[in-house]
Amino acid sequence: MAMVKVLNEGYVRLVDHMGSDLTVVNAARVSYAKQSLELDDRDIRLIKFLAREGHTSPFRHAMLQFEVYAPLMVARQWWKYVVGSAHYEGTGDSLDAWNESSRRYITEEPVFYCPEAGEWRSQPENSKQGSGDSIQWELGEKYSRELMAYTEAGIAKYEAALADGICAEQARLFLPAYGMYVRWYWTASVQSVAHFLNQRLEHDAQREIQDYAKAILTLMKPLFPVSLEQLMHDRTSE
């Protein structure tokens, strides 16, 4: 399946999907015991109507499944869309699923995200969260070196604990958390993915998760072009 590389070691991979824009149309038309066999202009007008008027349940009949490999700081931002999807979609239960690899069971070599010298950002001037412009290269180089040294020290202590017979679920406490890459499967409806994209493609979203949102958009757009265009806020050209 298609895959898009993100950051230095991360990626988003399209694992599977169910349905198309026609799925959305037929989920709506079943109210009148009707069915379309090929997407035509009338069907496209129906999708536009559904999105415009907030009749979103038909968009929950089409699904996508992704494998994501990202730093933990990105994963934990992302996770709240699973927690919140039941409330957002108006269902009794979430239509999102999330299954993540666990270092209770695996001891594969840990991989960490470390910004390059030119990738460190300053604090924002008018907000308590987010970031501002890039900092001076020399200062960025300093903190890249310090983060790499900190990470390498944690890995050494983790490996020493394993060698001494400490169980993996406790030895992992030595690993620096927020920069460590984790891997998970995310399965979500077209509506839920579009909601994620609308928020995480905004200019004030954390830049790292913006990069992952762009990867999701790249993989999703060929599969649901009409639905995505209507559910998003004119962002499908990004």
| HSE, side-chain direction, 13 A CA sphere, residue 98 | 18
How do beta strands 97-100 and 63-71 pair? unpaired
* CB of 22 closer than 8 Å to CB of 61: no
Give pairs for 89-96: CB < 8 Å, separation 24+.
89/56, 89/60, 89/189, 89/191, 89/192, 90/56, 90/57, 91/60, 95/60, 95/63, 95/188, 95/189, 95/192, 96/186, 96/187, 96/188, 96/189, 96/192
Q: How far is residue 219's CA from residue 62's CA, in Å, rounded to a whole number? A: 15
Q: Give backbone dihedrals phi and psi of 136, rounded to 5 degrees, phi first.
A: -60, 145
Beta-carbon neighbour count of residue 196 at 10 Å?
24
Q: Give backbone dihedrals phi and psi of 33, rounded to 5 degrees, phi first.
A: 55, 40
Tell me if residue 29 is catalytic. no
Catalytic residue among 45, 200, 207, 235: 200
Intra-chain end-to-end CA distance of the chain, in Å: 22
Q: How far is residue 22's CA from residue 190's CA, in Å, rounded to a whole number? A: 12
- What positions carry a catalytic annotation? 200
